[in-house]
Structure 1
Amino acid sequence: MSVTATSTSTATLALTDQDKLTLRTAAYGAVSLMAAADAAGSPHKAAKHGSIALATAIGPIGHVLAERSRIGNLGGKSTAELADRVLPALTATMSLLAEQAPAEADNFRGTVITAITAAARTHKGEAAPGIAEMIRKITAALDAA
């Protein structure tokens, strides 16, 4: 199934259902990792702010993120288990998008960065070391493609 871009973008993405699931797992999983990193603070606020930021995505990426299908693999017994699924999904999504439509790869990266930044801003002042480290790991996964 392909996602056709709207008005300002001319890119067309030919994403399979599995590609879309990987993209949603990557984006929403990044927000889940931020909430897990904020376990001592406000993980629910982090998840809420990050998810709201993802909902503002536009273009083909926004359409995929807005789909209402269940993302079933964002649980786990530990943050490490979640990271084992999410970080590779971030890299795989960036690789796929870079091949098909580099502008959409930039759109996806920007959307995820906006979401994790929003999730990190649930506290006043500087981010806690665990949160800062999770941002670094997510960014590294995005840039590994």
Structure 2
Amino acid sequence: MSDAYVFAKGNTAEISLPAGAQVAVKAKTNSSNVQKVQLTSKDGVVDLAFSGTGEGNAPIGQSTVTGPAVLTAAFEFAAADGDFKPSKLNSGGPYTIGAYNLAVVVAENGDDADYNDTVLEFSWHTPK
């Protein structure tokens, strides 16, 4: 869908969701460090916070958002000293497979380079 996009810079991502879509938002972690994601919209309608630790794509939160919406997602992790530091991001999508759409933002906290410490997924179906 042309009105959907993901743009990552620094430790924040801007996500545009398509009009009329019910978008599933899922946050997962693959880290022993505490990971935090704060999702907000400029109008204040969306204000979600997910945090937690765990390996193997451990769920740390999920919700549903109705488009159109432009969201900002800020990613942080707890360093060894307990202070929260900004994560590094990569993003992909939206990918369209039939009527299914997926956009992903992944975060790295610097202990390796696998970009899976936090995984934030947005998925929706395009009406036929």
- Is TM more than 0.5 here? no
TM-score (norm 1): 0.24
Q: Which has the higher helix share?
A: 1
